[in-house]
């Protein structure tokens, strides 16, 4: 045999041997160790990453703690202004990548929210979405189209691309699986990724996604619906509690259990007029906390119904859900009985973010006209929307998407409408359920809180679906109170199914609740 042939044979044997060793290591569950030093990452140029030129600002070692493994903390910028942090496990990498979304207008790198993934051995990342600020302040967007593009869709994508490239250099191989999880604006980011960049992530968990136009209109509508001509609040905190009590008294037991939780608020038939003060004189004034005057009844109806034009055309999928009343406190009604924070949020949004051309600080919320200006929000809607129901590209490349929303979150109707529209667009449940499922959580507020179950191991849910083909028919949730104490657990079934108490077992036992399919 010629020497060159013998050399080729040796190479082939070496390759086969290496493949065998790697297979054994993989089968044994041994986790990968880095092939590059942490500090060296700051010396390497990542400017050549396609579509995501990146500058590393620092790379430092962080010692292990009781909750987290030792990791390399990488801080950097994707040119020109997208800040990010990437945490790379030193000796316990599980071969996977995880990215955490942010909330509100972002402006901060909320990577600590990914600690649960880091503890499992993930390389984790998060971004500020291209600007610095607070999650409630949109002034960064004032006539700043580049920043709006970063916020709308570019930042999450380029940080995912850059992070995976850095992981590959550090570990010597690319991640086997990539996941995204976010709630509120993070939920919007997740949907944007599925719709616009379907190759970035194998699995996405999107919670309570912000629907830009609907959210802007709802914030404005709820604020204005509760004001009289002198900008005095019509509803008081006492009347909000009155509404909540009446809703629960009428509908709490519809799911078979009276527990302060509405399984599906759409099944509740409540009219605020049921609380109207008796014998009210037209033009008079009633200062009471046990009934509603005509103008207060009308204010409550408007809040429940959602924004409409002057001719009655609905502008969103619905208003605040029945059962969400306690969330009106602060947002719609201040503790002192004055206007809630929604009034300022709506005004700031219109000044600096909502329109194609921002009117600036002189703009007043009273200038907004639903008949004239609602359609003017469409430009920014197209820039930042995560509600395109055509998810075929994500489906066709094998992606998996879990969408969840609390029924006690006032914007729940938008999420249900999006899922129903996506199901129809994709061809029906048979073409949707294999890759996309919605979980509506009774009694949960936005992302967390509320009297229902509000804590889930969503990372395990999406892992099992992506890696092992275990589609989630239900999720087990646990109630966490304001002090962080865990309480009862219950199953939450994939929409449109829901859980119903069987009446025979301990009400705090998960097995006491059975799947119920809504009647046609």
- DSSP code of residue 130: T
CA diameter of the chain: 110
Residue 310: inside a domain:
yes
Range from 185-194, 339-348, 511-520 carrying the lowest mean pLDDT: 511-520
Q: Indicate whether 440 and 367 sit together in one domain.
A: no
Q: Indicate whether 267 and 327 sit together in one domain.
A: yes
Q: Indicate whether 336 and 469 sit together in one domain.
A: no
Percent of the chain with pLDDT over 70: 92
**Phi, then psi, of 67 in degrees rounded to 5:** -105, -25
Q: Indicate whether 186 and 272 sit together in one domain.
A: no
Q: Residue 290: what pLDDT?
A: 92
Q: Indicate whether 84 and 221 sit together in one domain.
A: no
Residue 28: inside a domain:
no
Bigger pLDDT: 32 or 213? 213
Calpha distance 495→450 (Å, rounded):
20
Q: What is the residue range of 447's domain?
A: 39-212+383-516
Reference 270, options 315, 235, 300; nearest CA is 300
Q: Indicate whether 306 and 340 sit together in one domain.
A: yes
Mean pLDDT value across residues 267-271: 96
pLDDT in tens, 1-26: 444 444 333 434 433 333 333 333 34
Per-residue pLDDT band at 287 (split at 50, 70, 90): low
Query: What's the alpha-carbon Rg for the chain, to the nearest Å?
Result: 26
Residue 2: inside a domain:
no
Could you tell me the two tokens for 336? 């002192």
Q: Indicate whether 405 and 484 sit together in one domain.
A: yes
- Count of domains forming the chain: 2
Calpha distance 152→160 (Å, rounded):
15
Boundary (domain end) residue, out of 341, 356, 381: 381
Range from 4-18, 83-97, 225-239, 290-304 carrying the lowest mean pLDDT: 4-18
Q: Indicate whether 170 and 266 sit together in one domain.
A: no
Q: Indicate whether 158 and 196 sit together in one domain.
A: yes
Q: Indicate whether 260 and 336 sit together in one domain.
A: yes
Residue 20: inside a domain:
no
E-state strands within 65-138: 71-78, 82-89, 96-100, 123-127
Cβ(105)–Cβ(219) under 8 Å? no
Q: Residue 11: what pLDDT?
A: 34
pLDDT in tens, 461-498: 999 999 999 999 999 999 999 899 999 999 999 999 99
Bigger pLDDT: 503 or 163? 163
Per-residue pLDDT band at 214 (split at 50, 70, 90): very high
Averaged pLDDT of the chain: 91
Cα–Cα distances in angstroms (integers) from residue 152 to residues 37, 103, 188, 443, in the given order: 35, 13, 9, 30
Residue 431 CB-density burial (10 A; 0-12 exposed, 13-18 middle, 19+ buried): middle
Residue 89: inside a domain:
yes
Q: Indicate whether 227 and 320 sit together in one domain.
A: yes
**CATH number, residue 82:** 3.40.50.1820
Residue 359 predicted with pLDDT over 80 = yes
Boundary (domain end) residue, out of 349, 381, 413: 381
Boundary (domain end) residue, out of 350, 381, 412: 381
pLDDT in tens, 412-427: 999 999 999 999 999 9
């Amino acid at each position: 045999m010629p020497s060159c042939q013998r050399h080729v044979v040796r190479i082939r044997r070496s390759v086969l041997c290496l493949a065998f060793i790697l297979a054994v290591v993989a089968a044994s569950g041994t986790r990968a160790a880095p092939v590059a030093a942490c500090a060296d990452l700051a010396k390497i140029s990542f400017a050549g990453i396609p579509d995501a030129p990146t500058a590393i600002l620092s790379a430092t070692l962080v010692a292990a703690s009781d909750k987290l493994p030792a990791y390399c903390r990488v801080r950097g910028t994707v040119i020109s202004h997208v800040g990010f942090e990437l945490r790379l496990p030193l000796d316990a990498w599980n071969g996977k990548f995880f990215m955490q979304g942010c909330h509100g207008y972002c402006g901060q790198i909320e990577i600590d929210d990914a600690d649960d993934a880091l503890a499992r051995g993930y390389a984790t990342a998060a971004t500020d979405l291209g600007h610095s600020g607070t999650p409630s302040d949109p002034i960064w967007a004032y006539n700043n189209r580049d920043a709006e593009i970063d916020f709308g869709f570019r930042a999450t994508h380029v940080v995912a691309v850059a992070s995976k490239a850095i992981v590959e250099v550090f570990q010597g191989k690319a991640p086997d699986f990539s996941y995204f999880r976010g709630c509120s604006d993070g939920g919007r980011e997740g949907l944007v990724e599925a719709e616009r960049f379907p190759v970035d992530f194998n699995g996405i968990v999107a919670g309570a996604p912000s629907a830009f136009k609907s959210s802007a209109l709802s914030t404005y509508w709820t604020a204005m619906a509760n004001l009289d001509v002198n900008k005095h609040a019509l509803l008081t905190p006492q009347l909000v509690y009155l509404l909540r009590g009446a809703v629960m008294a009428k509908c709490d037991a519809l799911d078979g259990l009276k527990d302060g939780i509405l399984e599906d608020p759409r099944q509740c038939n409540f009219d605020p007029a049921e609380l109207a003060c008796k014998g009210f004189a037209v033009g008079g004034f009633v200062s009471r906390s046990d009934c509603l005057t005509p103008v207060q009844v009308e204010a409550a109806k408007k809040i429940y119904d959602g924004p409409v034009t002057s001719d009655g055309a609905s502008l969103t999928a619905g208003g605040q859900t029945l059962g969400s009343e306690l969330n009106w406190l602060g947002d719609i009604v201040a503790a002192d009985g004055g206007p809630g924070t929604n009034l300022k949020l709506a005004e700031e949004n219109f000044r600096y973010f909502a329109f194609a051309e921002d009117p600036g600080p002189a703009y007043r919320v009273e200038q907004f006209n639903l008949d004239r200006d609602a359609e003017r929000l469409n430009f920014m809607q197209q820039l930042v929307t995560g509600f395109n129901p055509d998810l075929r590209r994500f489906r066709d490349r094998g992606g998996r998407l879990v969408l969840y929303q609390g029924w006690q979150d006032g914007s729940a109707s938008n999420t249900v409408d999006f899922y129903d529209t996506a199901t129809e667009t994709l061809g029906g449940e048979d073409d949707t359920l294999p890759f996309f499922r919605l979980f509506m959580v009774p009694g949960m507020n936005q992302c967390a809180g509320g009297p229902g179950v509000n804590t889930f191991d969503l990372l395990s849910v999406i892992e099992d679906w992506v890696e092992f083909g275990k589609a989630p028919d239900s999720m087990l949730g646990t109630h966490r109170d304001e002090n962080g104490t865990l309480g009862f657990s219950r199953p939450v079934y994939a929409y449109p199914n829901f859980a119903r108490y069987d009446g025979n077992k301990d009400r705090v036992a998960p097995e006491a609740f059975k799947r119920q399919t809504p009647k046609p």
